[in-house]
Structure 1
Amino acid sequence: MMLSPDQQDSHLPWGQTDRENLLNTLSAHRGSMPAASTDGEGKARSREERRRRRRATAKYRSAHATRERIRVVAFNVAFAELRKLLPTLPPDKKLSKIEILRLAICYISYLNHVLDV
């Protein structure tokens, strides 16, 4: 049913002229929706906003940086161990991580070929 701008339908909340009735209707509808958490000023905050605020703290950043350093050290140790297992000439030649991976692929392929023969 279409209404012209000057017509109002009394059962629709936006058609009501009484401001208090409109607020009561909206409050009743909002009661069925989950409430968002609010900060001290009464502003609604989403889960994403709370996550951003937590990640912005110095304590969180410091802990994250520590975890990242530990991860990178473990990553580099794994590459160093792999490097020791690969034959190259000269043996102490410095290789990049991608070169280590490519050489490991070739070496594994070679070893499979040797086992198949």
Structure 2
Amino acid sequence: MSSTILRRAVGAARTASCARTFSSSPAARKDIVQELYLKEIKAYKAPPAVKDAHVGVVKSYTMPPVPKAPALPADLASELSAYDASEPSAVEKKAAPSADAHAELADGGAEAFLELLEADVPPEGHH
């Protein structure tokens, strides 16, 4: 009994290796995801277009008013002389010096610092 099974298996293997069968139809494999995707695309209904959907969302544009050209005063010379004669604001003159300003003046002030910056650096001796 085992020999008959063996003979049949060998015979089946010979016929399978000798004869190649070609199918003219492609493999019947279907992609489930693709089928679902296509089904949903075909079933999709676009919402109806609403007329005047932009109303209330889009603001209308209006051009800004055209600026006027500056006009020179009638008596320009007197205004310039009045500006030249005016003194700086009184607030700047009467401002009390702060404690930092006193410490800066005691150490030599800004003038001493600027002189230090402008002074030449002495060359170092060669080793």
TM-score grouping bracket, smaller chain normalisation: under 0.3
Greater RCO structure (CA 8 Å; 6+ sep):
1
TM-score (ref. length: structure 2): 0.24
